Structure 1
Amino acid sequence: MFLKNILALIQQYSTVIIHRHVRPDPDAIGSQVGLKELVKHSFPDKEVYAVGEEEASLSFLAKMDIISDEQYEGALVVVCDTANRERISDQRFTLGDKIIKIDHHPNVDEYGDIQWVDTKASSTSEMIYELYTSSENNRFTLTDDVARLLYAGIVGDTGRFLYPSTTEKTFKAAAELITHHFDRSVIYDNLYSMQHNLVKLKGYIYQQFYIDDTGMAYVKLTKELLRQYGIDPNETSQLVSTLGDVKGIVAWVVFVEEEKSIRVRLRSKGPSINELATKYNGGGHPMASGATVITWEEADQVIADLQMIVEAYEA
């Protein structure tokens, strides 16, 4: 029912504007721009835009469109991969006529006229592929570029198909997508190849992380440390999973100090940590979430809360 209603609305509107979350990851960009290109090539007469702040590390995937407030008048707005309204990049999404939410995170904020939320999906990019396959009479055209974007989104959110969210359905979607012509090595090189200074910071993390008896671990990356290594805070996204390779760690948090706040990146191998992220102005999946604090004192409270979560899980 959700898919039929979404398809009907897309066909109904002459302008479609697609949003995603702030601080985008490959799935945010892949699902957002993948949907844009899917609609654009299937319905050439429609005006279709993807909006939000640029992310330099993902510019190889796509560039964002710049549009005026007036272009939202009478438009259909689709928000991809974003659990709550506060995290939507470009808050003009409310200016449209109707809103569709397409997401695979827990539905903590029930916004939109239509909400298609599938927490069993590996990624929102996988959901966009499902939207394509569900279209009757092949109304959608899956181009090579759409396949590239959706594949990149799936790869990013499954950790190269390693995370438990990867299912048979995920592999089937990926298998179909790679029948199209695009260079997978370009995707992997851009997502996972590291500059030498980032590799050195990875070594610092292995040397300096703290782990307690419960299996809770953390590492703090201060502004001064990042300057010392010549690394932008956004680049540290490649290092969040580093501690996942360490035996004995049950859940961990990486703190990344920015100019006016501290980014909190939470990961887990068992206990749910998304409610903890919500407590600190964030959200996400039960095993992978993000949040934001302002001071290191708040960061220490996050550590204490995570420790209690891990202790309760072990008990």
Structure 2
Amino acid sequence: MKRQIIDTIASYDTIVIHRHVRPDPDAYGSQHGLKALILANYPNKKVFAVGEHDESLSFMTKPDSITDDVYDNALVIVTDTANTERIDDQRYTKGKMVIKIDHHPNDDPYGDLLWVNTEASSCSEMIYTLFEEGREALGWILSDTAARLLFAGIIGDTGRFQFSSTTAKTFQVASELVTYSFDRDKVFNGMYEMEQKLLNLQGYIYQNFQMDEYGAASIKLTKELLAQHDVVPSEASLLVGCLGSVKGIQAWVVFIEEDKQIRVRLRSKGPIINTLAKEFNGGGHPLASGATAYSWTEADRVIQRLQEVCQNNK
């Protein structure tokens, strides 16, 4: 499949790369890393990476803005996105051909070509293996820019190599990426430095989260609370993993209220939670998933189901 994707990339003059809404480092890393990889080997191609920008990821790069006509006869590649509803910028259908590259469960097998590897730690790791295939077959090169972006994506989706999705292959890829010329300190600082207002909100989370006897934990971040801390929902999402350091916790959910819906961020140290996420308009990885609730009553049902999942895992 990788060689087929490489040959398809080579055959198109214009390529538009999409990723999922509310992006994380792996979404940017795989999307923009692929863009940089293609341009390093096909400098005459027109390659664009689109989607709404998240300011917290400005340390990595910024997306392109394009008009509808760019999609005429273009190849569209969607990275790190499990289903069509989560693709940022629904113009992806305007291209001539769509390729899906993803590491989430393939519940929505969209696209004309599909490469899904649920064993990969991140989509950024997959893009690096695509480079390896291109290097062996066609002498592809990897630019320092691409290496920096892919490294950041891998760091983000593995939690600095702490998550169980990290494999020997992940370490091998990372060890090769760090041989390229980029500032790792800037990458880590961009990903993990926080403003004081976020640290204050993190303190609130530690002081107010609820956990039952089975290790199921939850915290509700209402619009009013976020406003008090001068934090927007995308910034609050950076704190989802902080409860992972709590002793005795099995799985947890962070609710982040927006104008018309409540974002449901699920994380786990063992119990499978993506099946639970699917019950509430979501999905994702077995230990890291997202969903959507439309009332606090529905959010309470998520908590109840999480408690059941943790109880059954004891």
1:230 aligned to 2:240?
no
How far the C-alpha of 1:138 sits from its partner, in A, is 4.3
Aligned to 2:51: 52
1:189 aligned to 2:189?
yes
Unaligned runs of 5+ residues in structure 1 are: none
The 8 Å contact of residues 263 and 290 in structure 1, kept in 2 or not, is answered as: yes
- SS of 2:106's equivalent? coil
Aligned to 2:112: 113
Aligned to 1:40: 39
Aligned to 1:13: 12
How far the C-alpha of 1:5 sits from its partner, in A, is 0.6
Task: Describe the superposition over 1:30-64 as per-residue Cα deviations: whole angstroms up to 9, x where unpaired.
Answer: 00000011101210111111011111110121111
Q: 2: CA distance between counterparts of 1:143 and 1:40?
A: 9
The 5-angstrom pairing of residues 29-178 of structure 1 reads 29-135=28-134, 136-178=136-178
How far the C-alpha of 1:261 sits from its partner, in A, is 1.2
The 8 Å contact of residues 19 and 80 in structure 1, kept in 2 or not, is answered as: yes
Task: Describe the superposition over 1:108-131 as per-residue Cα deviations: whole angstroms up to 9, x where unpaired.
Answer: 101011111111100000000000
Q: 2: CA distance between counterparts of 1:91 and 1:284?
A: 20
- Amino acid in the other structure paired with 2:147: A
Aligned to 1:24: 23
Task: Describe the superposition over 1:246-297 as per-residue Cα deviations: whole angstroms up to 9, x where unpaired.
Answer: 1111110000111221111000111111121122122110000111111111
Aligned to 1:271: 271
Identity of aligned residues (%): 58
1:201 aligned to 2:217?
no
- Amino acid in the other structure paired with 2:264: V
- Amino acid in the other structure paired with 2:62: K
When normalised by structure 1's length, the TM-score is 0.97
Task: Describe the superposition over 1:184-241 as per-residue Cα deviations: whole angstroms up to 9, x where unpaired.
Answer: 1111111111111111111111111101111110001111111111111111122111
The 8 Å contact of residues 103 and 124 in structure 1, kept in 2 or not, is answered as: yes
1:179 aligned to 2:170?
no
Tell me the matched-pair count. 313
Q: 2: CA distance between counterparts of 1:200 and 1:66?
A: 35
Q: 2: CA distance between counterparts of 1:275 and 1:168?
A: 27
The 8 Å contact of residues 39 and 140 in structure 1, kept in 2 or not, is answered as: no
How far the C-alpha of 1:139 sits from its partner, in A, is 3.8
How far the C-alpha of 1:137 sits from its partner, in A, is 4.2
- SS of 1:237's equivalent? helix
The 8 Å contact of residues 17 and 72 in structure 1, kept in 2 or not, is answered as: yes
Q: 2: CA distance between counterparts of 1:6 and 1:255?
A: 38
- Amino acid in the other structure paired with 2:242: T
Q: 2: CA distance between counterparts of 1:114 and 1:310?
A: 38
- Amino acid in the other structure paired with 1:205: I
Aligned to 2:289: 289
- Amino acid in the other structure paired with 1:28: A
Q: 2: CA distance between counterparts of 1:197 and 1:294?
A: 27
- Amino acid in the other structure paired with 1:288: A
- Amino acid in the other structure paired with 1:140: W
Q: 1: CA distance between counterparts of 2:295 and 2:170?
A: 39
Q: 2: CA distance between counterparts of 1:137 and 1:105?
A: 27
Q: 2: CA distance between counterparts of 1:51 and 1:217?
A: 36
- SS of 1:255's equivalent? strand
Q: 2: CA distance between counterparts of 1:137 and 1:216?
A: 49
- SS of 2:291's equivalent? strand
- SS of 2:114's equivalent? strand
